[in-house]
Amino acid sequence: MRTGAEMHALVERLYPICRSITGDGVRRTLDVIGEHLALERHEVPTGTPVLDWTIPREWNIRDAYVADGTGRRVVDFAEHNLHVVGYSVPVNRRMPLAELREHLHTLPDHPQWIPYRTSYYAPTWGFCLSQEKLDALPEAEYEVVIDSTLADGGLSYAEHVVPGTVTDEVIVSCHVCHPSLANDNLAGIAVAISLAQALAETKPRYTYRFLFAPGTIGSITWLARNAERIDRVKHGLVLACAGDPGPLTYKESRRGDAEIDEVMRYVLRERPHRTVEFSPYGYDERQFCSPGFNLGVGSLTRTPYAGYPEYHTSADNPGFVSPEAMEDTLAALQDAVGVLERNRRYVNLSPYGEPQLGRRGLYDSLGGRSDAKQAQLAMLWVLNLSDGEHSLLDIAERSGLSFDVVAVAARALHDAGLVKE
């Protein structure tokens, strides 16, 4: 799966599954991801302490509806899984519309859309429906059924690792807890799978760890269970909202000057994009960037969370995301990986005066190249700034040369014995 059409087909396949932070919907989603990537799956039992949190009871749902006096379902979970408030406790009652209204959620500003609502940690129940449908309900008595279970079980998450030549890691994290929301989270899952498949065909320097976990509690669980190896995580990205028509948006890490921040600013500058500063609100970057961990993890989206009207509504459907947008997100990620993989710091082994490049064949190697002058200039910049402090990306930024030209020059100088890592 690499093309936009293939990624979009996966979004369409995953869209009907009712996911939450726990339960069989998450497991079914991981089953589908596992058809594309080898996964290491984890089940963490209810009641397990994870940092300051505790794994909650597992929620599953079989059916839910509101029926009128004739038995006709006027709100039906089988038609759209957003119709039920996530984590609703079981209900089997009859009640008048006035009482039922207290448990109904709509979007008056978008009267045809169904909102997405959850209540993970407070025992309650509810239905979501369009304002148009609510307005059409007559005052009458209704049968209200939510056939759900909230019981001891577990939290499910999975990892896929692309091994590198070093154990230093790059994390790519996606949340798998939302029900039928195509942009917020399914497009990110599809793009992450394609990135992992592309990396598997290379021999990367870094080890890449792809994390598919429920939002918030999933990343907290991973951090709690991997505390002893957190120092391996050198860079990371939280990926979401990867398929909408907006330009790319990069949210910086808490540090603001982490290498991933520099890399993303560089690869996005020639694309329509926005860069925003870190804030402790959003997706799982806020867990990876909590002060005790303070990892170099940013977030890549197109339009950010809550930044488009369709966010957390039934309008975030497969028609809202496009193959072209997902391809563009994937291309930006591949460019970022390309820079991360080659961004090194070197030390000039002949720092007193300019070394003679001609007698080492370095000028001759440029013969006939259309960018020979740039390549020569790049060698001089690399030699001058290879003091162990400046990375190749630093050199590219300061010189105004492209990263590719600088990286090639550094490799030539390394092979000639003039610089070392």
Q: What is the pLDDT of residues 249-306, one digit of tens each?
A: 999 999 999 999 999 999 999 899 999 999 999 999 999 999 999 999 999 999 999 8
Q: What is the pLDDT of residue 357?
A: 83
Rounded alpha-carbon distances, angstroms, from residue 237 to 71, 208, 272 = 49, 11, 19
Residue 120 DSSP code? S
pLDDT exceeds cutoff 60 at 98:
yes
The domains of the chain, with CATH numbers, are 4-56+154-342 (3.40.630.10), 58-151 (3.50.30.90), 345-420 (1.10.10.10)
What lies within 8 Å, CB to CB, of 142 at 6+ separation is 66, 67, 68, 69, 74, 94, 95, 96, 97, 100
pLDDT tens digit string along 307-334? 999 999 999 999 999 999 999 999 999 9
Backbone angles phi, psi at 191, to 5 degrees: -65, -40
Do the bridges between strand 49-50 and strand 104-105 make them parallel or antiparallel, or are there none, so unpaired? unpaired
Residue 106 structure tokens? 């709509």
In this structure, the number of other CB atoms found within 10 A of the CB of residue 243 comes to 30
Buried b vs exposed e over 338-360: b needs ≥16 C-beta within 10 Å?
bbbbbbbbbebeeeeeebebeeb
pLDDT tens digit string along 342-397? 999 999 999 999 898 878 878 655 445 556 788 889 999 999 999 999 999 999 99
- Mean predicted confidence (pLDDT) in 204-222: 98
In this structure, the number of other CB atoms found within 10 A of the CB of residue 152 comes to 11
What lies within 8 Å, CB to CB, of 320 at 6+ separation is 182, 183, 243, 244, 310
